[in-house]
Structure 1
Amino acid sequence: MYLIGNISIYLGIVISLYGIIANIVGIKKKSSKWIESARGAVLSLAFVASIASFLLLYLLGTSQFQYKYVASYTNESLPIAYKLTAFWAGNAGSLLLWAVLLALYTAMVVFSKEKKNPMMPYVSSILMVNILFFFTVMALNANPFEMTDKIPADGKGLNPMLQNPGMILHPVTLYMGYVGLAVPFAFGIAALILKRMDSEWIKLTRRWTLLAWLFLTLGNVIGGWWAYLELGWGGYWAWDPVENASFLPWLTVSAFLHSVMIQERKNMLKTWNVSLIILSYILTLFGTFLVRSGILTSVHAFGDSNLGTYFLVFMAFMMLFSLYIVMTRYGLLKKDSSPIEAYFSKESSFLLNNMILVAAAFAVFWGTMYPLISETFTGTKVNVGAPYFDKVMAPILLVLIVLMGICPLIAWQKAVFEKFMKNTLWPLAMGVATAIILFAVGVKGIYAIIGLSATSFMFGTHLQEFARGIGARRKATKENVLKAAFKLTVKNQRRYGGYIVHIGIAVIAVGVISSHTYSTEVLKTVDAGNSIKTGDYSLKFNQLTEHTKNGNGIVVADIDVTYKGKDIGKIKPEKIFYETWPEPSTEVAIKTNWSQDLYVVLSSWENKDKVTFMVKVNPFVSWIWMGGIIMVIGTAFALIGGRPTTSRYQINKGISRVGG
């Protein structure tokens, strides 16, 4: 096993090098044989990376503690699901996960229907440079198949915070988003190298970019859900440096997905679009650097790692390489690029949307890195916490919501103000009505009311767009409402998939604004038989009990809950004590409905009859998870929609034009 694992890693290095060289030779000599050989190397890489991955999964699942990685992240009592997910619990395994995902992505790209495209050898080489980096780092610094000096009787086990279903989903979806962005980056650089300044590379990578954005969205939403359930502080997003690192490429890719529509339709923003995809790719490396460098304090970071140096060097190399390619092609990018004809147009609104998304990314980046910058130049580390991010990001996100409500109502090329105002009438009325209703029922918080009203306006815009489209189709075809709605969305999946995503964002916005502004918290010590009251809830503490499960000690509080005087059952918050871990794990008890969550944490106890609880009532938190699901549905809908694009370069001309 040891031999096979190590051979697979070193083979990964050799095959990656060979594939890059074969592509270069094939390009120089215009040789289809060398290009075909490089394509075979990609397939071999996917095979070798898969063998290494299956081997590590086997070692983890069978508790082979002679391997340092297995002993560090598993033990005998760990459930099999978490033994396997320990694959990405540490540095070495997560690097292998990145390598195998990237190898599989590369194989799918290289063997796609566009495999004869002249850009493909360049794309393949760029992706294999990334694969080479990960295999090299594993060989030099983080080998998942490294042996222990002495075989322990049992392993250390997995961090209790990682023993959650979120561990199965969150890292993988986030990594698939990170890895997926390497594909449009590679196509963008390949197009620049070949001096093909049209939008072909954008059309070829539209689905790859959407897929990466989908996984980034899933990763961030699942991460928030996991934090809410597991960390026990009552929130879902703490503006932690590593949380921010995964949010940054999501913001820039969101901007890219909007601005590429302008290039496809109007031949505009060529330099901007290629810069955005390069920035998004670099930010995925930056996020990985933050996790592995230990330079910033984070519950997610691998603080004992020195891998940050490798990632910093590789990130700098790829950044300088990309900058050089862009600068040498800058004149061609600007050539034949159409200007924006009118400030009041959909093109201008999309560009403004882009500027705000990039501004949001910069604000998050600055707040994340400022402690390090401050310490470097002044010697004093200044902490930047949630208050900074809340204060800076709230107005930015409010403007984005308003823009999402305005953009669909503005025409391409040059909009007519009178027509725009007419289109805005009903959504604006919906937003104003929301504000009036909130004031009338006594809701406090002017900023929250403004945010909720803006969200209502945005939702109204998209509802109106669906209604108008259905109405126009019914008028033309005489179809019933359901059939017209189905046909309309199926025939315009890209457009209406985007609208569904925006509706999901509106639902999330309601959850975020409400839970952030109107949540209540009580921290109280009670004796057995006494109650805690908060809002419409009454919680009667009955008793504290202890038992063991899988060798772990569990302390459970038994609580009866009533809502508005009506019994709604029991909740049982817990503390779990692990033999292999110094700190107990908090298991939150949550009762949820469509409008609010009752969130109870067992904080501490003096004895079995005197216990301290943290009780929170979080309004509309479930809307955040529901909105995430809606966004995923909309993205999947847009992903399978749109017209298939074929390269304007014919297959029979393919390899002869590789040297371009």
Structure 2
Amino acid sequence: MTGADLGAGALVAGLVAAICAATAGALAAREQDERLLAAARNGAYVVAGMLAIASLALLAAFVTHDYSLKYVVEHSSRAMPLQFVVAAFYSGQQGSLLYWALALAILSFIAIRATYDRLRRIIGYAIAVLMAIEAFFLLILTFVSNPFERLPVPVPDGQGLNPLLYDGGMLIHPPMLLLGYASVAVPYAFAMAALLAGRTDADWMRATRRYALVAWAFLGAGNLLGAWWAYHVLGWGGYWGWDPVENSAIMPWLALTAYIHSVLVQQRRGMLKVWNMALIIATFCLAIQGTFIVRSGIISSVHSFAQSSIGPFFFAFLAVVVIASLTALISRLPALRSEDRFGGVVSRESGFLLNNVLFVSVAFATYWGTIFPVLSEALSGVKATVGAPFYQQVNGPLLLALLILMGLGPLLPWRRATGEQLRRSFVVPLAAAGGSATVLVILGLRTPAAVVALAAAMVAASTVVWEYWRGVRARARSTGEPVPLALGRLVARGRSRYGGYLVHLGVAFVAVGIISSSFYQQEREATLPVGGAVTVGQYTLTNLGVTETLAPGARTVTAQLALAEDGQTLHTMAPAKVFYENFDNQPATHVAIDTRRLEDIYVVLAGWAEDGTISLLVAVNPMVSLIWVGGIVLVFGTVVSLWPERVASPVRLRVPERIAVASEA
């Protein structure tokens, strides 16, 4: 038996175990049968083991260059560096589905172990839902898109990766995004279990909060890494083009962001229960829909895979999920009534409700723009195009409102706000916004929309600083601790709250980067002979000539450009095109980027001639680096929020049966 045979057998065994575990879990929950529940739990563990074996078998096939497997031939070659051979595991359809199934199996294993005793009344249904999802993926992997499918005759070498994937981003972006998709299934499964069991309190939310945050962090980081990858590799001068596949990745994140905020209201006031169930259902459905769009080929995109046979299966699965979820939700509406009422129009609760409405509006607008070309073609025969201007005009105002709400919402009190409370809370962030707007105008920024948006970002950032300062000052005064110690202990004892503030600060940084680069980008296209120059802003690029280098499996054409600022030569920039073996018609773009004082000089080699003449795209993009810095802050804030609280462990003391006293001695 070969490793591939072992992997294929593990998929079949995993499918059988998943079906059995799902059935046992549902029956155990309905009949309250402990033996069936234990069997369901053990079945889920078996699924995780089988998927681990299958994944290791496929990885071994790539590393050992087993070119008897069709999937290995299509996505690797002997000339590829080892790190890209490993990354080829998830570079195609079969491998990425196997990776998703493995991630979900491991997360299910962890979640079941952690909640088996704590959520005894719903854990059976949760196992059933998780294993039903696993069974679907394993069904596809076993019978429709099997990574262990063999060729009639082995070949000596493979085709290699798509040239666009030869980048460090390939090593981290797809795994993070796929892990985010898989993580969403855990809170969704427990939400469905709560509905099926009629346990609509907040216990399941508290137990699965970390999984929702993990999913949110991986989806957010995956989207930011995707933007970074597009900026460095695709060579069109930007980082987010509102492409259908980009939209498919951002929509679950938007819905999950609303959910993570909204559950706070249910946990504190017993409100927004229907909202919370609907949001987590929407998040999971959007994650499945994203896979359908990427895999089906129904929407053209530079990111999507070629049309495949699994699109209809995902569409059918999505339809089943939507119908089953809505049926469960509607059947439990009487049990999802709010336990309290809104105390006032201006309150923390109202802020969270508005937050839900805005996030859902952005997600719906993005969904409509993504799916409209398909509907247009189906209804009229004409395939319409929805470009970036639509999303900017519709989502721009909504995102601006969210940015302002992110700054002011945390300052609102629960139940009802008085005028005096609002004045005391809002004076600092509003003063910071007004001051920053004034400074921007003095510095020469005259675009009203940009000034307002940057001022809104300042509201969000200043609120974080203000809340940290107020907390540190109060603790230092009450305990006498030095400010650094007071800061550390303040965060340690309120990790969820202050980690969330750091996330808001990261989002503010990202917003400043997006706003600045969107409104104030300078861009030129130029054709330069040897010695010719082009000027963009205060920067001048001079063509020094073209070089060509050969390496095993690749040919690289590089333009040598002298970069000067205000007449002073700085150094050389070298944008390039790389032609990989078997992909001569798909050259990879190597963008030259030089970051100076928070602005990027961005150069793309578009074409060249034998006499050394080159065609360039040159852009000066301000503040783009703040997007990546903000992403790091955002991830760090999430880690702070997720870090376990220190819990005092009980200590047993042995007390003597009889203690002698002085009078007895």
The verdict on a shared fold, with TM-score over 0.5 as the criterion, is yes
Matches within 5 A, 1:415-430: 415-430=417-432
* Alpha-carbon contact 1:601-1:613 (below 8 Å) kept: yes
Change beyond 3 A, Cα 1:215–1:516: same
Tell me, in whole angstroms, the C-alpha distance in 1 between the residues paired with 2:117 and 2:89.
32
Q: 1:22: Cα distance to partner?
A: 2.3
Q: How far apart are the structure 1 equivalents of 2:646 and 2:402?
A: 28
Counterpart Cα distance in 2 of 1:443 and 1:150:
66
Query: Which of these residues, 554, 557, 564, is aligned with residue 555 of structure 1?
Result: 557
Tell me whether 1:451 sits opposite 2:443 in the alignment: no
Find the counterpart in structure 1 of residue 84 from structure 2: 82
Q: CA deviation at 1:562?
A: 1.8
Give the whole-Å Cα distance in 1 for the aligned partners of 2:28 and 2:429.
57
Identity %: 38
Letter in 2 for 1:450: V
Indicate the residue corresponding to 1:177 in structure 2.
180
Residues of 2 paired with 1:474 and 1:111: CA distance? 41
The residue aligned with 1:621 is 624
Please give the alpha-carbon distance, in whole angstroms, between the structure 1 residues aligned to 2:645 and 2:276: 20
Cα displacement (A) at 1:565: 3.3
Q: Residue 17 of structure 2 aligns to which amino acid in structure 1?
A: I
Counterpart for residue 431 of structure 1:
433
In the other structure, the counterpart of 2:466 is 464
Cα offsets for 1:426-462 (capped at 9, x unmatched): 2111111111111111123111111011111221122
Counterparts of 1:332-411 in structure 2, within 5 Å, are 332-334=335-337, 337-411=339-413
Q: 3-state SS of the aligned residue for 1:154? A: coil
Task: Identify which range, 35-44 or 223-232, moves more after superposition.
Answer: 35-44
Shift of 1:644: 8.1
> Superposed, which structure 2 residues align to 1:600-615 within 5 Å?
600-615=603-618
* Cα deviation 1:477-532 (Å, max 9, x = unaligned): 12221111111111111111111000001000010000011111111111212222
C-alpha distance 442-27 of structure 1, shift in aligned 2 (>3 A): closer
Q: Is the 8 A contact 1:501 1:635 kept in 2?
A: yes
Change over 3 Å in CA distance of 1:644–1:297 after alignment to 2: farther
Q: How far, CA to CA, are the matches of 2:562 and 2:520 in structure 1?
A: 24
Residues 29 and 121 of structure 2 are in contact (CA less than 8 Å); yes or no, is this contact kept in structure 1?
no
Q: Scaled by the length of structure 2, what TM-score is found?
A: 0.95
Q: Give the Cα–Cα distance (whole angstroms) in 1 for the partners of residues 61 and 566 of structure 2.
A: 53
Does 1 or 2 have the higher relative contact order (CA < 8 Å, sep 6+)?
Answer: 1
Structure-2 change in CA distance of 1:607 and 1:56 (3 Å): same
| Alpha-carbon distance in structure 1 between the residues aligned to 2:26 and 2:577 | 58
- Given the superposition, is the C-alpha separation of residues 50 and 594 from structure 1 closer, same or farther in structure 2, using an over 3 Å criterion? farther
Amino acid at match of 2:323: L
TM-score scaled by length of structure 1: 0.95
Counterpart Cα distance in 1 of 2:154 and 2:554: 23
In the other structure, the counterpart of 1:656 is none
2:328 maps to what in 1?
Answer: 325
Conserved 8 A contact 1:494-1:641: no
Query: Residue 190 of structure 1 aligns with which residue?
Result: 193
Measured after TM superposition, the shift of residue 593 of structure 1 is: 3.3
Partner of 2:482: 480
Q: Runs of 4+ in structure 1 displaced over 4 angstroms?
A: 641-645
Structure 1 counterpart of 2:69, from 63, 67, 70: 67
After TM superposition, the structure 1 stretch with the greater mean CA deviation from structure 2, 523-532 or 445-454, is 523-532
Confirm whether residue 146 of structure 1 aligns to residue 149 of structure 2: yes
- Measured in 2, the distance between the counterparts of 1:443 and 1:404 equals 24
Report the 3-state secondary structure (helix = DSSP H, G, I; strand = E; otherwise coil) of the residue aligned with 1:584: strand
Superimposed CA distance per residue, residues 48-103 of structure 1 (whole angstroms, 9 cap, x where no aligned partner): 10111011111111211111001111111111111111111111111111111111
Equivalent-residue separation in structure 1 for 2:535 and 2:622 (angstroms): 17
Alpha-carbon distance in structure 2 between the residues aligned to 1:640 and 1:82? 32
Q: Tell me, in whole angstroms, the C-alpha distance in 1 between the residues paired with 2:115 and 2:319.
A: 33
- What is the CA-CA distance between 1:642 and the residue it aligns to? 5.9
Q: Which residue is equivalent to 2:234?
A: 231
Q: Which residue of 2 aligns with 1:160?
A: 163
Within the alignment, does 1:306 sit opposite 2:326 as a pair? no
Tell whether the 8 Å contact from 2:29 to 2:123 is kept in structure 1 after alignment: no
Judged with a 3 Å threshold, the aligned counterparts in structure 2 of structure 1 residues 643 and 247 are, in CA distance, closer, same or farther, namely farther
Contact 1:470–1:484 (8 Å) recurs in 2: yes
Quick one: structure 1 residues 594 and 255, their matched pair in 2 at CA, closer, same or farther if it must change by over 3 Å?
A: farther
Instruction: State whether residues 494 and 642 of structure 1, in contact with CA within 8 Å, keep that contact through their aligned partners in structure 2.
Output: no
Could you report, residue by residue, the CA deviation over 1:143-166 in whole angstroms, capped at 9, with x for unpaired residues? 000011232232111001011111
**1:269 and 1:337 in contact (8 A); partners too:** no
What do you get for the CA RMSD once the two structures are aligned?
A: 1.5
Number of residues paired by the alignment? 644
Q: Which has the larger displacement, 271-280 or 35-44?
A: 35-44
Q: CA deviation at 1:590?
A: 0.7
What SS is found at the alignment partner of 2:606?
strand
- The 2-side partners of 1:550 and 1:221 are apart by 32
Q: Distance in 1 between matches of 2:596 and 2:117?
A: 50
- Kindly indicate whether the alpha-carbon contact (under 8 Å) linking 2:541 and 2:563 is maintained by their aligned counterparts in 1: yes
